[in-house]
Chains A and B, each alone.
Chain A
């Protein structure tokens, strides 16, 4: 299995680069393309937990909302620069996620899911009640978008939609490559081992608790980065960022794109954001379709969209999965 990975790897990295270049050309607006990438970043974070560590967290909205609030508050009240605001949001997300994670992983299975849900609800009600900090129902308005300054040099004013898209695209690709390396490092293999059989990983001598908390911290930092970029992109940090629905949406995108596949993250986010944009105008109840798709994926195509693409590709190459090997759908191969 392992020896096959590098080939597909190069393929998906190139595919994501091509996707990044094509997105703003194909989509009607740069802001829509930016939204796709921002959610793709959030889905990368969720995928690290769900796809690679086997943890279904309904708490991703906490980190998304937290990132949005942290970056917005830095920009509005402290007047910090763009990169430092993003950095602070990432650290905040990582720290809170480590805390939430270290508590949640004390339980497994359904109880784990319920814990992340309880924390997610608490975060929402805390945010909605602390109006002085978060703006409550109104959210934080007029979030500025400062120019991109690197070591005292202004690189771009980021004033136009396409400039901001390029900025987010660079972040995405850096994150994508970094995550790919993480996943193929011994650290990533240990996460996979935990996903496949935690008892065995524990028995072999891995401190699975540490690995799970680390996965949470990374996931939280990445998700907070997405939230921060979202607020800066919209000039607005609404309360809905931290709602349960946001956690649900991020999980849905991850499942639809394909768990355990980084390129799937881009597909899942792209599908949901573009379908949402295209359909919500003509058919406001398009979420109904999403429910059907979710069920169909669980029943028939557990690898999500990327799993489907891969099946087709395998058929073209007439390289069927060998017997005794897990079907390609459920094996992360990105």
Chain B
């Protein structure tokens, strides 16, 4: 019994990371109405920057602060200089530009950090495990769950209770109307794109102590992000949270039994959801 409980808790931890990864993807889709194929690369960059800060200072907390900001800044810059110019084109071209961007980031990471992965140790404070009777759970994973919950709460407040959030929600509803009301919609676009990248970068930092940083984790993360976003419903906050945890649990439970099967299942679920319920579990029609 406790082994299943452990796997489920592990899945929740993984799922919270998936949530951080996907929430940016889903908000960007909601507002900008395009799918960011470079999102996995932002995640990858987060993980590598975490490794880099660790090599330079040995401080995990510093990387948790700096890496997401750096990734966000890069994304903001890319949006300003490049993506900005593609909004008038069909969605296909935005996919291709972000695909090119993902290639550039992935290959540059290999140039900087080499083709072999980098390991990041768990921060000292969080080493060891919580024990509750016969049940033990690593402190670090618990920390990830709590931190992601806090971030989710802050994000929720940001989206639901602030003017910035209201603008994002209004923009997702009708971009043209918002810009007619005198809002600088392009500024909103670039800030949102940057914010999404910050969250993807943070997911990358959090995953680094668990499985290190390696060059191809970006592509994998992008796939997972798509599944979460589609299953939860494109543009939906709750959908990203529930979808992330769901996928995390499925993967975690199946990891010991049949990991390939889990992947077939989650991508099958993705296809089924698009075919039967294109707005996902929580999206609005």
Contact = CB atoms under 8 A, between A and B. Distances in A.
Interface of A: 56, 103, 106-107, 109-111, 113-115, 117-119, 121-122, 125-126, 128-129, 244-245, 248, 255, 285, 287-288, 290-295, 298-299, 302
A119 B96 contact: no
Given A110-B91, A125-B264, A128-B260, A103 B103 contact: no
A287 B93 contact: no
Given A107-B274, A294-B96, A294-B100, A114 B230 contact: yes
14 contacts: A110-B34, A118-B227, A121-B267, A122-B267, A125-B260, A129-B258, A244-B223, A248-B99, A287-B103, A290-B100, A291-B104, A295-B82, A295-B97, A298-B93
Contacts, number: 108
Complex A-B, nearest 3 residue pairs according to Cβ-Cβ distance, in ascending order:
A291-B103, A294-B100, A288-B107
Contacts of A115: 271, 274-275
Interface in B46-96: 82, 85-86, 89, 91-93, 95-96
B274 A298 contact: no
A287 B29 CA distance: 27
Contacts of A292: 100, 104
A298 B86 contact: yes
A17 B34 CA distance: 41
B contact patch SS: helix
A114 B274 contact: yes
A contact patch SS: helix
B116 interface: no
B128 interface: no
Interface string B13-53: 00000000000000001000011000000000000000000
Contact of A129 (B34, B110, B264): B264
Contact of A103 (B97, B270, B271): B271
A110 B260 CA distance: 26
A111 B29 CA distance: 12
A47 to B, nearest CB: 14
Contact of A288 (B108, B223, B227): B108
A111 B274 contact: yes
Contacts of B10: none
B107 A107 contact: no
B271 A113 contact: no
